[in-house]
Amino acid sequence: MKFAFSTLGVPGLPLPEVLRLATAHGYHGVELRAHPEEPVHPGLGTAEREDVAARFKDAGVELLGLTGYARVAAPGDDDAVLEEIRTLLGLAHDLGAPFVRVLPGGSDAASADEADAIAARRLGTVARDAADLGVRVLVETHDSHPTGADVTRIVGQVGHRQVGALWDVMHTWLGGEQPLDSYAALSPYLGYVQVKDIVSADDTTPLTLGAGILPLGECVEVLSRHGWDGWLCWEYEKRWYEAAEPLPGLLTAGREHLGRLLNDSA
């Protein structure tokens, strides 16, 4: 497995500094938060996009994917959601990123079946765009669809290779799903895995990996036992928890913890 970290943990940090952190602390890749607050976002022009791609290549760091905020199961008109996803797909293609993250974002006012159908319809519509651009859209286990079983209801309906799933281990755990069950549901569609650690179910303040209560060892063991060799991406949610310890000082310890978990599961 390869290790990455998300720029959600270093909000607003210039890209050269992000890449320096990755190389200095032994990470193979970086997941970029594609938001106007960040240095890399959909508003970049052609020359700026070429510069970003060149910087990753020169640093020898892989661009794992872009995390966007399109909510595929949200109520309302399809056009705005489709345009948001297509904009992210175009940016990912230009930067050389293989994945784009989207959120479910279903409404409490809609039934699960209605939310699933909305999301599947929209994702089915953009699947050809994704295929043409060589980018895969991943629905994260999150908000209205926190478990692997929830997200599988969406991507299973779409039935297209360019629409898959992103396993956020915190949300599946908070949703009451065991790691083995999450993997069983998501494995046919799995793009990569977001790892993290938190204080408790009632306090999701981010901690360094291994310092909290999430079953990271069990997740890695399940992945290893089934021969999965993709990406583990540390999503440290510093952007939402300003008082959390700065990520740069934790990066080496986090990578070493993941390495120990892999060794233990071998």
The pLDDT of residue 101:
98
Q: What is the mean pLDDT of the chain?
A: 98
Three-state secondary structure of the chain: CEEEEEHHHCCCCCHHHHHHHHHHCCCCEEEEECCCCCCCCCCCCHHHHHHHHHHHHHHCCEEEEEEEEEECCCCCCHHHHHHHHHHHHHHHHHHCCCEEEEECCCCCCCCHHHHHHHHHHHHHHHHHHHHHHCCEEEEECECCECCHHHHHHHHHHHCCCCEEEEEEHHHHHHCCCCHHHHHHHHCCCEEEEEECCECCCCCCCECCCCCCCCCHHHHHHHHHHCCCCCEEEECCCHHHCCCCCCCHHHHHHHHHHHHHHHHHHC
The pLDDT of residue 142:
98
What residue spans define the domains of the chain? 2-265
The predicted model gives 142-163 an average pLDDT of 98
The predicted model gives 152-173 an average pLDDT of 98
Q: Over the stretch 134-143, which tens digit does the pLDDT of each residue have?
A: 999 999 999 9
pLDDT band at 187 (very low <50, low <70, confident <90, very high): very high
Which pTM value belongs to this model? 0.98
The pLDDT of residue 129:
98
Q: Over the stretch 222-234, which tens digit does the pLDDT of each residue have?
A: 999 999 999 999 9
Which CATH superfamily hosts domain 2-265? Divalent-metal-dependent TIM barrel enzymes (3.20.20.150)
Q: Over the stretch 16-51, which tens digit does the pLDDT of each residue have?
A: 999 999 999 999 999 999 999 999 999 999 999 999
Residue 193 pLDDT greater than 90, yes or no: yes
The pLDDT of residue 46:
98
The predicted model gives 120-144 an average pLDDT of 98
Residue 164 pLDDT greater than 90, yes or no: yes
Residue 241 pLDDT greater than 90, yes or no: yes
Residue 266 pLDDT greater than 90, yes or no: no
Instruction: Report the share of the chain in percent with pLDDT over 90.
Output: 99
Where does residue 143 rank: exposed (0-12), middle (13-18), buried (19+ CB within 10 A)? Answer: middle
Q: Over the stretch 68-102, which tens digit does the pLDDT of each residue have?
A: 999 999 999 999 999 999 999 999 999 999 999 99
